[in-house]
Structure 1
């Protein structure tokens, strides 16, 4: 075990502080510890903690002095080899620690958390049917949360990384036996949907009063008469296809009058048909009168009653 800090192990200081070589929990075949923030310390740490006036639950501040990084964690068991500490791999990633690096551990007292704001890294976290229930179950394995840390959550054989954006009432809070309000920020890869603006409608131009009245007068005028124009109904209920009638034709009298008017006018004069030509001064030849045809009379026999032949019965 690496040497501790002088003056930190007395019964009156009430502070535990020591250095250890850190390793991930995979070295002791406890992968379930990856779903929380608890570490495993050697038995000597329990003896020293018991002699000090340490507040429960036991919480610690973890420091990487070389990278000036710090976080907080709880403790689960005291079964590690002397001089070693086993912690979840995501805690080592936050502190920029490698296997076997030195880490400084110090006891801490944290206030009960009242508010925490979390931000998932990817949008697939939103695809979980009930993310609140899954997160509550995961945080049962946690003792504390520190703003600026990134913890890992495993669900359905998939890993989700979540940032601790903000915490109240302090930068680091204890979440054991407390009612803490949880808020979510949009995922880091979330893209706002693009909304298209609706196209501007053409403005309706109002007509002047005079123009409106003229249009009303034109609409009120009766249309010209067209024969055989209208709708009809079929007996079988089918729709009737409307065919426009042909344009009206001019009547024969109209055509004759139009042709007569179009023909050139002739000079007036007398024309005699059927008479022989005669020289001037000759008398007119007598014209034979035609006799009227005689009417042919045909005498029909007169009807005489009871003038006929008969036959006897015997």
Structure 2
């Protein structure tokens, strides 16, 4: 190999890195102009119908474009630059296809102006629905998670409890909670209580199974060493078994949270007369599809925020496994 080839190979990684940095910089500087072009199209191209808040939408696009230009100048975009470009181009394409050309069938597909108008004019009802959904979800999920952890401890540590509880778990746990919805609404004194019970059931099953699995997998030597030092059963549960089973417990908590989300929407659509699920059903009944899409967006933000919060708690508790589970 010649000296020139050796020099080129040695410098190749640096050249690749420079090209990558250059491409990221170009993408970052492109994000702002894409949003500004979308704003120009929104403002100057006449709408095909009388849509609300077109000028407000254009001003919003301009503000985002200016902020993105400032972020590019301060080198803050980095890996988010491509997503900023894609979102700006996607919203601009949606605006042209629907607000300017009416390419998609109405009323099933609205315009960006329609979605923005929902948040401007109906924000109080959306916010109230969000609070109802959060209250319903937090109570049901918390009760189900606590019961699941307690049942998992009992199954993993106490043979007599396992003898009686295991058959019940295998009979009821795998049933989809939505299948029990008619029975729950008949037996429960209120639809709210029925929804809470079904969400607790949805969360409890995966938490119970994963807690039991985690506690059963603890090395028996840990318990033996603790007993030789005079540890009580309470100490063995809360200071040995539970800390060792925490990774499995958090997997169960994530699974239970997803099951609770699904049960929340079903309960609100079919029985509980409040919340985002009820709002979506109301919007669909009146063919107010922009309102339905707005509720879906709010629900997505709520669910993503709760999962992110749970991940933050997990990373705080299991600091030695911070990168072991991705979100």
- Common topology (TM > 0.5): no
Larger radius of gyration: 1
Pick the structure with more strand per residue. Answer: 1
Q: Per the shorter chain, which TM-score range?
A: under 0.3
Pick the structure with more helix per residue. Answer: 2
TM-score normalised according to structure 1 size: 0.17
TM-score normalised according to structure 2 size: 0.17
